[in-house]
């Protein structure tokens, strides 16, 4: 049988492999080698994913690193010189991972991923710390979530630690050049682990071939670029739609609450998993929101209009509880499995429970609550002056304050003190301190760089 995924000698003018492969020892010393995992099909005779078998092929045509926030970076198409791939078949298990020049894949027109969306991914960042060191933020969480996503979309299982080592090997290799020690404060690269089924059989069935890969991309700072007011062209387009934020400058994200005819996820579906199948179907609603001058869709669910996610981020509210008169930090629960178990979400909840349940400087203590809440609860809190702030939280947008929500013909303004609400600002700064090494914390995982 012809392999469904062949290395393509011609990359798109970006980089070409020339050297032979050689054993690599790039995996981070700090991570212990676990027992080999089974492949998730219960057959231990198949090869497990094993980062220690990784081969390395040096890129011979390295490219220039684009300027921060240059058009190349804004286009979100530029990746670093290398990538990591690992091929899996149902008959042999995982082949040796390859760290090799970044370039296109050769994929058969019948490949499962092109027809049946047998794909999932992760998103995390590589940070250049204030101390000059490279760090990841809780990468084990992404790697474990990737396993859950794979399980939901019938892709093979693997040991999460091995994926983490592959990520670290790529970051170690390309970090020095693509995120130099001279980088501006707050610089990062975006890491995209992905798994696709390359199985060339058209039958609707569990895939028998897959490719796991990790790429490292130059990305703009989304939390900043989108927190500005809508450009005039977009703001103008919004005039006919009954929302009024164009009349004055709104700080923070502007969200358009979803309609009943556009539901992101459903109990018994797959909203909790990072599957391609959750993203493509959201693009029409998101495009409409953008065309009307909003940044993102606020996804509601059910007749009660439960608030679930903002765009591809989790959504948090700080309000004063009507009954107890206490401040609460609230986000939707994971129980129905319709929202993504965000790493930023979990980290915010952890930090808030640790540091915000008693007063913090001038900030009043909050109760930290994961529970269902509705758009009507939110409206009522706004009307009664109990709404303190709201923010989206996720890897791409980080912690992004929300300034306005449009819901069924009505604009709900959310207080934003200056650039951000105080709680969002505090949480963002704590997280940022860990990511950039200002605060030593177990969530910050150092990456040792390879000498080029």
Binder among 24, 89, 194, 306 for its own copies (CB under 8 A):
194
**Rule CB under 8 A: which of 221-260 touch its own copies?**
259-260
Site membership for its own copies, residue 105 (CB under 8 A)? yes
The helix/strand/coil state of 72 is helix
Site membership for its own copies, residue 205 (CB under 8 A)? yes
Binder among 31, 96, 107, 450 for its own copies (CB under 8 A):
107
Site membership for its own copies, residue 22 (CB under 8 A)? no
**Closer CB to its own copies, 294 or 443, in the complex:** 294
Binder among 189, 215, 235, 305 for its own copies (CB under 8 A):
215
Residue 395: which residues within 8 A CB-CB, separation 6 or more? Answer: 123, 124, 125, 342, 343, 344
Query: To the nearest whole angstrom, how small is the minimum distance from the Cβ of residue 165 to its own copies?
Result: 19
**Beta-bridge partner residues of 23:** 55
Binder among 124, 126, 196, 375 for its own copies (CB under 8 A):
196
- Name the token pair of 97: 């991972």
Q: Which stretch binds its own copies (CB under 8 A): 271-279, 318-326, 353-361, 419-427?
A: 271-279
Residue 174: which residues within 8 A CB-CB, separation 6 or more? Answer: 80, 81, 82, 189, 216
Asked whether 209 and 162 are in contact (CB, 8 A), the reply is no
C-alpha–C-alpha distance, residues 254 and 248, integer Å: 13
Give the HSE-up count for residue 307: Cα atoms under 13 Å, Cβ half-sphere.
Answer: 29
Q: Are strands 105-107 and 327-331 parallel, antiparallel or unpaired?
A: unpaired
Site membership for its own copies, residue 9 (CB under 8 A)? yes
Residues recorded for the chain? 452
Query: To the nearest whole angstrom, how small is the minimum distance from the Cβ of residue 440 to its own copies?
Result: 31
Asked whether 171 and 124 are in contact (CB, 8 A), the reply is no
Strands, DSSP E only, in 291-447?
A: 296-301, 306-310, 313-320, 327-331, 367-370, 387-394, 398-407, 410-413, 444-447
Asked whether 26 and 220 are in contact (CB, 8 A), the reply is no
**Rule CB under 8 A: which of 61-80 touch its own copies?**
75-77, 79
By CB under 8 A, the count of residues binding its own copies is 79
Q: Are strands 134-137 and 124-128 parallel, antiparallel or unpaired?
A: antiparallel
Site membership for its own copies, residue 13 (CB under 8 A)? yes
**Closer CB to its own copies, 38 or 433, in the complex:** 38
Binder among 50, 119, 159, 309 for its own copies (CB under 8 A):
119
**Closer CB to its own copies, 191 or 327, in the complex:** 191
Q: Which stretch binds its own copies (CB under 8 A): 93-101, 147-155, 181-189, 410-418?
A: 147-155
Site membership for its own copies, residue 90 (CB under 8 A)? no
**Rule CB under 8 A: which of 291-330 touch its own copies?**
311-312
C-alpha–C-alpha distance, residues 40 and 151, integer Å: 8
Binder among 48, 97, 200, 444 for its own copies (CB under 8 A):
200
What ranges in 217-370 are assigned the alpha helix state H? 222-225, 232-238, 283-291, 343-355
Site membership for its own copies, residue 102 (CB under 8 A)? yes
Binder among 22, 202, 365, 452 for its own copies (CB under 8 A):
202
Q: Which stretch binds its own copies (CB under 8 A): 242-250, 272-280, 374-382, 421-429?
A: 272-280
């Amino acid at each position: 049988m012809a392999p469904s995924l062949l290395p393509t000698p011609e990359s798109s003018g970006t980089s070409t492999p020339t050297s032979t492969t050689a054993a690599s020892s790039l995996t981070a010393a700090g991570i212990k080698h676990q027992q080999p995992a089974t492949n998730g099909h219960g057959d231990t005779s198949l090869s497990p994913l094993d980062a220690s078998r990784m081969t390395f092929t040096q890129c011979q045509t390295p490219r220039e690193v684009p300027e921060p926030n240059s058009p190349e970076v804004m286009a979100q198409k530029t990746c670093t010189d290398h990538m990591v791939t690992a091929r899996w078949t149902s008959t042999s298990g995982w082949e040796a991972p390859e760290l090799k020049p970044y370039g296109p894949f050769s994929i058969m027109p019948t490949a499962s991923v092109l027809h049946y969306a047998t794909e999932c991914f992760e998103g995390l960042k590589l940070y250049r710390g204030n101390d000059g060191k490279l760090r990841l933020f809780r990468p084990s969480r992404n790697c474990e979530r990737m396993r859950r996503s794979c399980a939901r979309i019938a892709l093979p299982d693997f040991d999460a630690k091995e994926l983490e080592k592959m990520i670290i090997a790529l970051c170690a290799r390309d970090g020095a050049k693509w995120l130099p020690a001279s980088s501006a404060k707050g610089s990062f690269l975006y890491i995209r682990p992905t798994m696709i089924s390359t199985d060339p059989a058209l039958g609707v069935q569990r895939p028998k071939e897959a490719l796991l890969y990790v790429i490292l991309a130059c990305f703009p700072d989304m939390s900043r670029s989108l927190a500005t007011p809508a450009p005039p062209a977009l703001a103008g387009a919004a005039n006919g739609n009954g929302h009024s934020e164009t009349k004055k400058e709104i700080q923070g994200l502007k969200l358009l609450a979803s309609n009943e005819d556009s539901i992101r996820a459903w109990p018994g579906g797959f909203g909790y998993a990072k599957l391609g199948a959750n993203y493509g179907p959201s693009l029409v609603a998101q495009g409409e929101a953008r065309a009307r001058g909003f940044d993102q869709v606020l996804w509601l669910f059910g007749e009660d209009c439960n608030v679930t996610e903002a765009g591809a981020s989790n959504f948090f509210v700080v309000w004063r509880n009507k009954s107890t008169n206490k401040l609460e930090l609230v986000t939707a629960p994971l129980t129905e499995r319709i929202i993504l178990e965000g790493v930023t979400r979990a980290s915010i909840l952890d930090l808030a429970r640790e540091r915000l349940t008693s007063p913090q400087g001038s900030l009043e203590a909050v109760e930290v609550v994961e529970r269902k809440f509705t758009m009507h609860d939110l409206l009522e809190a706004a009307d009664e002056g109990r709404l303190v702030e709201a923010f989206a939280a996720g890897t791409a947008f980080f912690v992004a304050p929300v300034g306005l929500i449009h819901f069924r013909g009505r604009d709900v303004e959310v207080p934003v003190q200056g650039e951000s609400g105080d709680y969002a600002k505090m949480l963002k700064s704590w997280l940022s301190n860990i990511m950039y090494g200002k605060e030593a914390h177990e969530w910050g995982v150092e990456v040792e760089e390879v000498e080029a």
